[in-house]
């Protein structure tokens, strides 16, 4: 180790800002060039070097004075630049994954909305094709959640008539939905 390196390190460890600024001015440009060779982005290279010098000053009291200063600076910048690239790669992969998840979610939601729209169209069409009382009974049961007994009381018919009309309504739906390949509607008997 050169005696001058030892002297510079001791002065900086002691808080000599003038010596630190001299070191910064001497090495800033060459270290930026070194970092730029690795990261291929001068703005990022300057950020790497500036952050290194900030941490170097902040941790100056714990710095070992038994190293070749020139080698230490270049080695540190080399490692920091590689770390930057690794971090950048992780960020890019994460951003791509988020974008893919977003697109998949949007496409899935759009597909589901289209399928539900298609299914609703089939349901409306089928309800129009069946007799009015069958349609009313189906809607009261499936859309309003009414029990067969409640429907019978509302329409002043027997529960058996409600069951029979519900059976007819379900047959209409089975026929309408037999070729439908979208989300399945529960048309239990």
d(CA 3, CA 25): 20
Instruction: Give me the residue label for tokens 């000053």.
Output: 57
pLDDT bin (cut points 50, 70, 90) of residue 1 is very low
Q: Does 8 share its domain with 74?
A: yes
Instruction: Give me the residue label for tokens 């920091």.
Output: 80
d(CA 62, CA 48): 21
pTM: 0.51
CATH of the domain at 12: 1.10.1740.10
CATH of the domain at 125: 1.10.10.10
Q: Does 12 share its domain with 75?
A: yes
Determine phi and psi for 168, rounding to 5 degrees. Answer: -65, -45
- In the numeric block, which tokens belong to residue 187? 């048309």
Q: Does 3 score more than 80 pLDDT?
A: no
Q: Does 60 share its domain with 127?
A: no
Domain count, the chain: 2
């Amino acid at each position: 180790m050169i005696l001058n390196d030892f002297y510079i390190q001791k002065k900086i460890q002691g808080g000599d800002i003038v010596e630190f600024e001299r070191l910064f001015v001497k090495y800033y440009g060459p270290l930026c060039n070194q970092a730029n060779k690795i990261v291929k982005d001068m703005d990022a290279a300057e950020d790497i070097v500036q952050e290194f010098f900030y941490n170097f000053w902040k941790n100056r009291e714990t710095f070992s004075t038994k190293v070749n200063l020139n080698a230490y600076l270049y080695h540190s910048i080399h490692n920091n630049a590689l770390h930057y690239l690794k971090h950048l790669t992780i960020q890019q992969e994460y951003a791509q994954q988020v974008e893919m998840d977003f697109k998949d979610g949007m496409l899935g939601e759009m597909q589901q909305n289209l399928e539900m729209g298609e299914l609703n169209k089939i349901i409306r069409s089928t309800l129009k094709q069946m007799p009015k009382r069958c349609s009313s009974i189906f809607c009261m049961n499936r859309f309003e959640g009414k029990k067969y007994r409640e429907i019978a009381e509302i329409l002043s018919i027997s529960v058996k008539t409600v069951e029979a009309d519900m059976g007819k309504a379900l047959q209409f739906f089975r026929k309408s939905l037999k070729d439908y390949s979208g989300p399945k509607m529960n048309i239990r008997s």
